[in-house]
Amino acid sequence: MDFGTAGARAIVINSLTGETIASSNMNYPRWEKGYYCNTNINQWRHHPLDYIETMEFVIKDALSQCPAYIPLQIAGIGVDTTGSTPALTDESGTPLAMLPEFADNPDAMFVLWKDHTAVEEAKEINNLCKKWDVDYTKYVGGVYSAEWFWAKAMHLVREDDSVASRAYSIVEVCDWLPAVLTGVKRSEDIIRSRCSYGHKALWHPEWGGLPTEEFFVALEPKLAGFSLRMPTTSFTADNPVGTLSSEWAERLGLPTTVVVAGGAYDCHVGAVGGGVTPGSLVRVVGPSTCDVMVSTYEEIGTKCIKGICGQVDGSVIPGMVGLEAGQSSFGDLFDTFRKVIETPLRQGLTQYFTDKMSRKELSGMINEITNIIMENIDEKAAELSPSVTSILSTDWINGRRSPDANQMLTLSMTGISLDVSAAKMYRALVEGAAYGTKAIVKRFESEGVEIKDVIGIGDIALGSSFVMQVMCDVINKPIKICNTDYACALGSAMFAAVASRIYDNVEDAIAAMNSGFSREYHPNKNNVPIYEKLYNKYQQLGKFSESNETYINEIK
């Protein structure tokens, strides 16, 4: 199971060969209608029922495509989700939005990874960590992000007193869904994943688990007691959390012997699905990017990599240190450009054709026209030389995740003149996204982490040769593309195979079940030196934008 930003997907995998037997997708019904989100304040929420309803549908739909004997042979279920995506819960571990009195309250729902309503809370966490006797940001690159667990929890309890007074605990969606499948009825019994606990919840063995109660009370008195009601231990995703409950076995048409593996973040299991090994940088390229690596204990030693999202023992492959970085927006950057194109088109054509065709026909026509326009822009942009356009763009349309998180930043663009075109502007955005990638690569390397090769997974990696070639030229490294549309779900299936004891470890599951690579990009040597100079200009533009951040926000 893979729960993404817009929907869920399930795949049925032959654990001996890695063959995909069946698959199913479904968009979240409430998310698709735009419920509970407010773009003006960067609020992005998922209702828990969106997960429950899509999970039941896609599993049953995938199984319905299989021979009748397959459901009886299902050994395990693995679950990955976006993150950090937490929600406040009651004593039973139920997200508050599942209770009637909070059914339509966004603050009682899961706060999606891209939600940036907790910017001020993240600042307070960073400030207190620097003053405390322990710097709890030590293993998250030195900067705590508004995209993460405690900043979001802190914002929620401040935002709504009724929610705060009813909340008993906090849970990541990747930990909640396995608990749902196995019938957990108490908050304390929800098993917390090493992946989510370590990367976003500040859990680390060095300080005995979570930060101290004194720290949280000093941060926000309304957080009192939360950490005390949460477990001090965490588990890697290759461990089973239980087997299917009778309720869910009946709902899904599966036996109660099916093992449910521990949950994890999509980018981490996606790296496993992509065949990550030490020295490989796996880029999960979607609405945002997640850059994941694994390192041996000997290589990482006592180093704390500055400016990344975190380093956690066992968060990717148990027995290795997982390293995570990423960009807060990547595909979102191009989707926003598409919306700029589509919105006036939709408004104009709707006004003109309303009396001439049905709403459904009109919407389909507008989507088709927008697709044609975007394909044309993409083709024209790909034909341009990097030295032709003087337009330069940063990639911070939703803040910066790495290196050195700063969610207050916005996109800056310069060099626009009278010869501007949609193709030139679009190419500048693609190049800006690639420069953001290079900044991450250079940070890893400057911190002593060797990158031997790059692996791309996700819709953009598979679908846009223009974007991937520009990225390849900018970072000046070959990029291999994973040969599956479902790398994250495949990684979850690998963990399920280990949890159900088909394989002894994740490395064996990768060797047997990996999909291989569909193609490989190589740097265009003519473009590499041009992009090296333009990257230096990108850095200058970024420094200017960041140094004027306060002034820009005052204007806004």
The pLDDT profile of the chain, 556 residues, written as one tens digit per residue, is: 999 999 999 999 999 999 999 999 999 999 999 999 998 999 999 999 999 999 999 999 999 999 999 999 999 999 999 989 999 999 999 999 999 999 999 999 999 999 999 999 999 999 999 999 999 999 998 999 999 999 999 999 999 999 999 999 999 999 999 999 999 999 999 999 999 999 899 999 999 999 999 999 999 999 999 999 999 999 999 999 999 999 999 999 999 999 999 999 999 999 999 999 999 999 999 888 989 999 999 888 888 889 888 899 999 999 999 999 999 899 999 999 999 999 998 888 888 777 778 888 888 899 999 999 999 999 999 999 887 668 999 999 989 989 998 888 999 999 999 989 999 999 999 999 999 999 999 999 999 899 998 999 988 998 899 999 999 999 999 999 999 889 999 999 999 999 999 999 999 999 999 998 999 999 999 999 999 999 999 999 999 998 887 555 665 5
Give yes or no for a contact between 261 and 499, defined as CB atoms under 8 angstroms apart: yes
Helices (H) and strands (E) in the chain, counts: 20, 21
**Domains, the chain:** 2-262 (3.30.420.40)
pTM across the whole model: 0.89
Residues β-bridged to residue 445: none
Longest Cα separation, the chain? 70
Q: Are 181 and 248 in contact (CB under 8 A)?
A: yes
Cα 246 to Cα 95, 158, 181, 409, 501: the distances in Å are 21, 38, 9, 48, 22
Do the beta carbons of residue 211 and residue 136 sit within 8 Å? yes
Left, alpha or beta for 274 (phi > 0: left; psi -120 to 50: alpha)? Answer: alpha
What tokens does 396 get? 């911070």
Please state, as a whole number, how many other Cβ atoms lie within 10 Å of the Cβ of residue 19.
Answer: 11
Per DSSP, the three-state class of 310 is: strand
Name the 3-class secondary structure at 368. helix
- Find the length of the chain: 556
Q: Among candidates 185, 13, 126, 168, which has minimal Cα distance to 405?
A: 126
Find out whether the peptide bond into 403 is cis, omega within 30 degrees of 0.
yes
**Helix, strand, coil distribution of the chain in percent, nearest 5:** 45, 15, 35
CA 193 to chain centre: 16
Say how far apart CA 351 and CA 357 lie, in whole Å.
11
Contact residues for 450 (Cβ-Cβ < 8 A; gap 6+): 279
- Which residue from 200, 401, 412, 239 is spatially nearest to 308, judged by alpha carbons? 401
